[in-house]
Amino acid sequence: MSAADATPGGVTSTLHLDSTLADARVVVLAGGGGVGKTTTAAGIGLGLARRGRRVCVLTIDPARRLADALGLEGVADEPVQVPLEPSAPDGGTVGELWVVMLDAKSTWDGLIREYADSPEAAEKVLQNRVYKEFSGAVAGTQEYTAVEKLHELLQSGRWDVVLLDTPPTRNALDFLDAPQRLHSFLDSRALQLLLKPASGGLGLLGRGAGVFTGLLKRALGVDLLSDLVEFFGVLGGMSKGFGERARAVQALLAEPRTVFLLVAAPHPESLAEAGAFRKALSGRDITYGGLVVNRLTRAARHEDEDAVRDALAEALGDEDVAARAAAMHERIRRQATHDERLITEHLRGPGDEPVLLVPQLAEDVHDVEGLDRLVEHLFPAAG
């Protein structure tokens, strides 16, 4: 444990990724918006690759500069390998780091091709106006396609471990339940009834909608409703395939080698959100690894204010500048103490939750060097 990862009062990390992820095949990073899920996923991925494993990070919407630095620019849905220089002078064993950016639409297209009865049927759906809207935009499809893609990556056997960076969902369960929810919807009686051909017609939707369709057609110049009927008709027919897949994905998430990590910022709302996530997860058949508290303000453990000012005055040779620097130093120390209190309070809530403290780095993390700096804190050298 480096001094940087201890708080002024001595709260230290109890989550050790080397052991927690020793056998992991899937690592899921969840948490609120903007707390550093993508950065942490990439950092853990790099750390594991530096330990000799073949790693793929499935990321969602990474910050532009990081995406560019990793070679993801303009590449959707295809894993790209990040060239890694050995970080240790003696070379050491370096595994592989791959990254892939989730593209919900192409994942959907792949699924439709796989489960449609024929290439013609698939083409019909792919060209369908409603489908195009649905696959690209509808809420929840990102959650669904993320786990789908995860499944596909693992099936390929090209990686030892796949990290899943999740979209900033308000509810972790949205994402866990997405495959099952989609299947239930496709399988639902309501949908079947809506689409079931009645006396040669198109089902309730088709029959009841004649006048309405006519109006829409005239108003919009497009036959949207018949696209809708066609879309759900074909999708409904694929329900069995989706159902099997949903079960496979669910089983994958429940495997002991699938480890969930939560990421939070040292803010009351973020920690409360993480607490709620954890509670929701605890009723599930999943392996919870622990909480990463990211962007912690760090300060040396014990410092006497006067001694700091004297040392600064001597180093800077200017009392005024030294006083200002000392004041800034004091603010940082207070913030560090504040962060620590929040974490201590949080830990009192959920019991002995393993936590990993990651400091706020001097700069944004936007390239492999930045990620390597993060790795030092994600995988601190023992001792």
Residue 247 to residue 332: CA distance in whole angstroms: 49
Which of ligand ATP, Mg ion, none binds 294 (CB below 5-8 Å, type-dependent)? ligand ATP
The number of residues that bind Mg ion (CB under 5 A) is 2
Residue 326 to residue 332: CA distance in whole angstroms: 10
For residue 371, CA distances in Å to 20, 71, 104, 106 come to 20, 14, 26, 28
Query: Shortest approach of Mg ion to residue 146 CB, angstroms?
Result: 11
The strand pair at 54-59 and 161-165 is best described as parallel
Closest to 226 in 3D by CA, of 240, 239, 212, 236: 212
Residue 25 contacts residue 160 (beta carbons within 8 Å): yes
Nearest residue to Mg ion by CB is 38
- Stated length of the chain: 383
Q: Which residues fall within 8 angstroms of residue 202, CB to CB, at 6 or more apart?
A: 195, 229
Which of Mg ion, ligand ATP, none binds 105 (CB below 5-8 Å, type-dependent)? none
Interface mask toward ligand ATP for 267-296; x: CB under 6 A: ---------------------------xx-
Task: Provide the β-strand partners of residue 288.
Answer: 260
**Out of 7, 13, 20, 38, the residue judged to bind ligand ATP by CB under 6 A:** 38
| Residue with token string 């959707």 | 76
Q: Taking CB under 6 A as the rule, does residue 34 contact ligand ATP? A: yes
Task: Provide the β-strand partners of residue 100.
Answer: 58
Q: Which of residues 21-40 bind Mg ion (CB under 5 A)?
A: 37-38
Nearest to ligand ATP of 36, 233 (CB atom): 36
Q: Which of residues 143-172 bind ligand ATP (CB under 6 A)?
A: 168
Which of ligand ATP, Mg ion, none binds 256 (CB below 5-8 Å, type-dependent)? none
Q: Taking CB under 6 A as the rule, does residue 33 contact ligand ATP? A: yes
| Residue with token string 């969902």 | 169
Residue 235 to residue 18: CA distance in whole angstroms: 43
Interface mask toward ligand ATP for 339-358; x: CB under 6 A: -------------------x
**Out of 37, 50, 278, 298, the residue judged to bind ligand ATP by CB under 6 A:** 37
Closest to 372 in 3D by CA, of 85, 92, 163, 93: 85
**Out of 23, 61, 305, 345, the residue judged to bind ligand ATP by CB under 6 A:** 61
Task: By CB under 5 A, name the binding residues for Mg ion.
Answer: 37-38
Q: Point out which residues bind ligand ATP (CB under 6 A).
A: 33-39, 61, 63, 168, 294-295, 358, 360-361, 364-366
